[in-house]
Amino acid sequence: MFFSSKIEIKKEVFRHCINNDNSAGFTLIELMVVFVIMALIGIMMMVSYLESRPRMALERVTETFINDVYRAKERSVSQMFYEDNSDLVGGDHGILVIKNTNNYSIFVEKVEGEKIIEQIDIERGIFIEDILVSGEQKDEVRVLFSSRKVYFEGELPIEEDYVDIVFMSEDSEEIKRSVRITSSGEAEIIYTYE
């Protein structure tokens, strides 16, 4: 077949492309369906991530708190010294926890009283919701790690004594985690509410 002009060639190529049923590629409808499916998967992943953020933050806070409990205990057992107005002072260390706050403190017990040596801020969105000393609600608790025993509120411990610190997410009242410190100085997560 011989074409006399370039215009006829272009027309014939255009007709061939339109009438060819074996053309490779996707139709507009197929591309839109794939795009909608990808958008739905993305939305589901975003919702899942947003729902899990408070749980992940609560998990980080409770793990950090447990590490700080063991750090205070280790300082007490080793009689670690710290600098106080250019003097090195050692003593029994402990943790001070106050209800409805977003921080807690590590302190050292001295003859003249306790001295806070470090204040730890809890991650934004998490706070200390409740404190239970052997099942009884308290507004604050001091857990003192003596080189010999663990004391709660300055009382001599008995074997069954424990302190439960309940951390809660500000985003949802159902998301809580409770850390128990026993009279032997062990700390562990005992409850996770969701």
Q: How far apart are CA 81 and CA 79, in angstroms?
A: 6
pLDDT (tens digit per residue) in 161-177: 889 999 999 887 788 99
pLDDT interval class at 150 (50, 70, 90): confident
Distance of alpha carbon 26 from its chain centroid, rounded?
Answer: 45
Helix %, strand %, coil % of the chain (to 5)? 35, 40, 30
Ordered by where they begin, the domains of the chain are 46-193 (3.55.40.10)
Strand-strand pairing, 136-138 and 140-145:
unpaired
Eight-class DSSP state of 139: S
pLDDT at 183: 82
pLDDT at 129: 93
pLDDT at 134: 84
Determine the average pLDDT of the residues in 42-61: 89
**What amino acid occupies position 8?**
E
pLDDT at 107: 87
Q: What is the mean pLDDT of the chain?
A: 81
pLDDT (tens digit per residue) in 109-135: 776 777 888 899 999 989 999 998 888
Q: Which residue has the tokens 């077949």?
A: 1
Say what the pTM is: 0.72
pLDDT (tens digit per residue) in 64-114: 999 999 998 888 877 666 555 545 556 788 899 999 999 999 888 776 777
To the nearest 10°, report the CA torsion of 130, 136, 140, 143: -110
Residue 158 has pLDDT above 60, yes or no: no
